[in-house]
Amino acid sequence: MSPSVQRTLAFNLLTWWHPGTGRGDGVTADAVVRKGKEDKLPFLPGRTVKGLVREACRVGAAAGVLDSATLEDLFGTGPPKQGESPEHNEFKRVRALEQARFGTKKGDLRFSSAHLGATRNEQDDWSSWARWRDREDESRVTPELYGYVSQTAICRDTGIAKDQTLRTIEVVVPMTLHAFITGSNATPWDAIDESVRLFLRTLGSHRNRGFGRVDAHLVTP
């Protein structure tokens, strides 16, 4: 077995961005961003990081940057698709779960969540600072790292805002997050880096409205 090798993946956010949760707070925003449970700092979960890199590599493989035969080895496979939905039949549901269990292949790469800080120690320092700030200052870190954007639909004929279309979303200021990818010496790191640089250009929600532009790349060790 090849020894483990770790690479750092940098997400340099260039614009406001919205790592959505699918929930609102019922008071200020219809859609709030994902934050750490204790430190309230923005982050990207490891599964999101993996999905972004996997999609960039999939496009990279189609463009000839990466060998398409290695994608399954790097990222694994999901459960096989079912021909019909089994939720209405308990036997079919259990059988589908068993098929999914044995039909899933684990990938060679492991992904951490992406946080503020270029190293794990720096990430711990950021988290400690935010928790200290939360205790010492009632204003918290929210005003410094977060903002709100309101949007509404405009009637094309009248130029007036349509009723009940005002929507406010919470957004995060531009910043740089870092995640850690664990693989091996056999991992095609250069091809992954090139795929990410070329094809990972946005992340988060509302990307079609200019949010979440990102410059992503593997940090040279």
Domain assignment present for 79: no
Q: Which of 153, 133, 129, 132 is nearest to 143 (CA)?
A: 133
Domain assignment present for 78: no
What is the per-residue pLDDT for 148? 87
What is the per-residue pLDDT for 167? 78
Which domain, by its residues, includes 151? 4-44+108-219
What is the per-residue pLDDT for 209? 80
Domain count, the chain: 1
Residue ranges, the chain, pLDDT below 50: 82-86
Domain assignment present for 51: no
Domain assignment present for 209: yes
What is the per-residue pLDDT for 173? 94
Domain assignment present for 72: no
Domain assignment present for 93: no
Domain assignment present for 62: no
Model confidence pLDDT, tens digit, residues 14-23: 999 999 777 7
Domain assignment present for 94: no
